[in-house]
A = this chain, B = another copy of it.
Amino acid sequence: MPDTANSVYFQLFKEIGILEQLSRAFLEARLPDGLIAPHFGVLNHLISVGDGSTPVELARTFQVPKTSMTHTLAGLEKHGLVEMRPNPADGRSKKVWLKPEGRKMRDATIAALGPEFEGIATAVSLGEVEQVLPILTKLRVFLDNARN
């Protein structure tokens, strides 16, 4: 592989790094005090995919160590946004359930974000996002598999 090709991949990772930083700051500026991006990510997942997942399942979904997920879930629980109940099917495990407050908080954040996204849409069109997304997903799946 020529050096120039290397540098393009390199540039992609660099861009991803900066974007992650910026988008996280962007989101967290609009979250209630004490809540950060991972909290919102989990909440959002519980709503769009459905609650009742176990912590390990969530950890796998978000590609974080289970110990990080424990911490994130503790925060959500402390803020009264989710509830942890035992898993009747497995005595070792728990299940995470949304509380109405969690849904409310997520909806409010989404609503606050709506107008912001319209701003973003002036820079990057919906079509462009739809063009980029499958490629990034391919890359993510590859890296995920390479991780083992």
Interfacial residues, chain A to chain B (CB-CB below 8 A): 1, 5-27, 37, 41, 44, 48, 62-64, 110, 113-114, 116-124, 126, 128-133, 135-144, 146-147
Given contacts A12-B133, A19-B136, A22-B143, 4 further A-B contacts (CB under 8 A): A9-B121, A120-B139, A123-B142, A128-B135
- CB of B136 within 8 A of CB of A132, answer yes
Q: Is the interface of A mostly helix, strand, loop or mixed?
A: helix
Q: State which of B1, B62, B118, B120 has its C-beta within 8 Å of the C-beta of A121.
A: B1
From the candidates B23, B113, B119, B144, name the one contacting A16 in the complex (CB within 8 A): B23
- Residues A117 and B1 in contact in the complex (CB < 8 Å), given A124-B142, A131-B131, A141-B123: yes
Do A26 and B129 have beta carbons less than 8 Å apart? Answer: no
B15 touches A133 (CB 8 A): yes
CA distance A131 to B13 in the complex (A): 14
List 16 interface pairs A-B (beta carbons < 8 Å), by A numbering: A8-B129, A12-B136, A15-B136, A16-B20, A18-B63, A18-B140, A19-B143, A22-B140, A22-B143, A22-B144, A22-B147, A119-B142, A120-B139, A123-B142, A124-B135, A132-B132
